[in-house]
Structure 1
Amino acid sequence: MCGRIVGGNLTQAQMLAIMEDFLYGAPVPDAVAPEARSGWNIKPTQQIHMVCKDAEAFIATSARWWFVPHWFKGDVKDWKQTTFNARIETAAEKPTFRTAWKTSRCIIPAVGYYEWSGPKNDRKPNYITLETNAPLIFFAGLCSTLQDGSRTCTILTLEPAEQIAHIHTRMPVILKQDELAPWIGDEMETTAAQDALGAGWDGRFKFHEVNKFGRDDDDPELIEPIDRLI
């Protein structure tokens, strides 16, 4: 679930300008973070844009999209669990994620994401986003800082809204604008977050099937509706 996200062609500065009002001020850019991927086909293990809290400030940084807990001592490539997504229903209790749930929440800005549907031997990609006033959507995530100072992250998921339940059995937790600061500011109780986050979007999803694309394809045309003549 949520194995590809779309960053579009927005720069970090443009993203920060959009988020400034929602976070009571623009996050501070992390000058030493590795460059994050932009584009139309961003994959797990790639570096993605992320906003987290560091001391008292919100930090705009990047993280490797495949969560590795802070206590893991090996190379990130040696981490074998599939952790680019985490279930919001269980993340607070899972040993892999529970410290991050308490202390290292993050938001991951994107334009949309892909989800595949259909029979196993003929899976079809769908592009999914939301009708909102902002040109971004914001996934709820968890992040970790490893011993070498690098960051990793995961996108939280939950059961799908009825409008898109026919596409997949899970969907990313998409935060409302007034939930951004409380989420990464650790101002939400676990129960409230599990019950309310990501809800209320039903009827506001925009989605359509797109043409099949290759692993390394990256072009704005990837999100265009499928050409039925192909």
Structure 2
Amino acid sequence: MCGRFAAGHLTQRQMLAIMEHFLYGKSLPEGILLPAPEAGYNIKPTQQVQMVIDQEGAPVSLGARWWLVLHWHRGAAKDWKATTFNTKIETAHEKPAFRTAWREHRCVIPALAYYEWTGPKGKKQPWYVTVERNIPVMFFAGLYACLPSGSRSCTILTRPAIREIKHLHPRMPVILSPGRALSWLQKADYDDVVAADYGSDWQGRIKHHQVRPFGRDDDGPELIEPYGLAV
């Protein structure tokens, strides 16, 4: 976890405008939340995702490959073999692979929700997991790195799952409230004790429902439609 997520139909411009509004108090341009034709409901590691970073007090939206490749790697990104599309927020500050990004390269990754699977191999049941919120997207806490080629890659941080979804998986992505997202981007907290609390304020505000099983390359809004009983 987190191995798949949904970013929906929001464009880069729309996501950046939402970030500027909720994190920095800027006004939303008229019509900014109108749906765009693009869809991304089955985003996988190694695909390009949108991330937002803070540059001198202003948000900047950039593309990045979802699977962190360390800055010192000299080969192609596809040649990086370590499993670094997720990392634990509890230990990222001290691990050699992540501590530089922890100090210098934090990001947030906008999403609608993420998926989790339960059940035996061959009969896995997918679940759509999101949070109650008053904005179109939620924010994953992430770290990113830049390669000598100029390309970027990122990882999504994870934490112990909160009570409502422990039965799906023992871990979950770190989902930031708008206020915590801003302090995360601006590197207000370096302390591992403080950082381990990120994402804990969603207790009682998680929503999840079953969705139909889908294939690796399936996409579209039908992937997130309830299938079976909503929870």
1:55 deviates by 5.2
Q: 2:188 maps to what in 1?
A: 187
Within 5 Å, give how 1:150-189 maps onto structure 2: 150-189=151-190
Within 5 Å, give how 1:90-109 maps onto structure 2: 90-109=91-110
Q: Give 3-state SS (helix, strand or coil) of 2:63's partner.
A: strand
TM-score by length of 1: 0.90
Name the CA distance, whole Å, in 1 between partners of 2:194 and 2:122. Answer: 37
| 1:74 and 2:108 matched | no
Within 5 Å, give how 1:47-58 maps onto structure 2: 47-54=48-55, 57-58=58-59
Q: 2:9 maps to what in 1?
A: 9
TM-score by length of 2: 0.89
Poorly superposed stretches of 4+, deviation over 3 Å? 54-57
Within 5 Å, give how 1:98-177 maps onto structure 2: 98-177=99-178
Name the CA distance, whole Å, in 2 between partners of 1:17 and 1:53. Answer: 14
Name the CA distance, whole Å, in 1 between partners of 2:132 and 2:191. Answer: 28
Name the CA distance, whole Å, in 2 between partners of 1:125 and 1:6. Answer: 13
Cα pair distance change 1:50/1:187, threshold 3 Å: same
Say if 2:68 and 2:85, in contact at 8 Å, map to a contact too: yes
1:209 deviates by 1.0
Cα pair distance change 1:173/1:148, threshold 3 Å: same
Q: Give 3-state SS (helix, strand or coil) of 2:122's partner.
A: helix
Q: Give the counterpart letter for 2:17 in structure 1.
A: A
Cα pair distance change 1:71/1:56, threshold 3 Å: farther
Q: Give 3-state SS (helix, strand or coil) of 1:221's partner.
A: helix
**Structure 1 range deviating more: 133-142 or 9-18:** 9-18
**Structure 1 range deviating more: 59-68 or 11-20:** 11-20
Name the CA distance, whole Å, in 1 between partners of 2:13 and 2:61. Answer: 10
Name the CA distance, whole Å, in 2 between partners of 1:54 and 1:72. Answer: 25
Name the CA distance, whole Å, in 1 between partners of 2:84 and 2:53. Answer: 18
Say if 1:7 and 1:39, in contact at 8 Å, map to a contact too: yes
Name the CA distance, whole Å, in 2 between partners of 1:202 and 1:108. Answer: 21
1:94 deviates by 1.0
Q: Give the counterpart letter for 2:195 in structure 1.
A: Q
Name the CA distance, whole Å, in 2 between partners of 1:103 and 1:193. Answer: 17
Q: Give the counterpart letter for 2:5 in structure 1.
A: I
Unaligned runs of 5+ in 1: 27-36
Unaligned runs of 5+ in 2: 27-37
Name the CA distance, whole Å, in 2 between partners of 1:164 and 1:62. Answer: 30
1:195 deviates by 3.0
Q: 2:23 maps to what in 1?
A: 23
Say if 1:105 and 1:186, in contact at 8 Å, map to a contact too: yes
Say if 1:51 and 1:108, in contact at 8 Å, map to a contact too: yes
Q: 1:30 maps to what in 2?
A: none
RMSD between aligned alpha carbons? 1.7
Say if 2:93 and 2:192, in contact at 8 Å, map to a contact too: no
1:21 deviates by 2.5
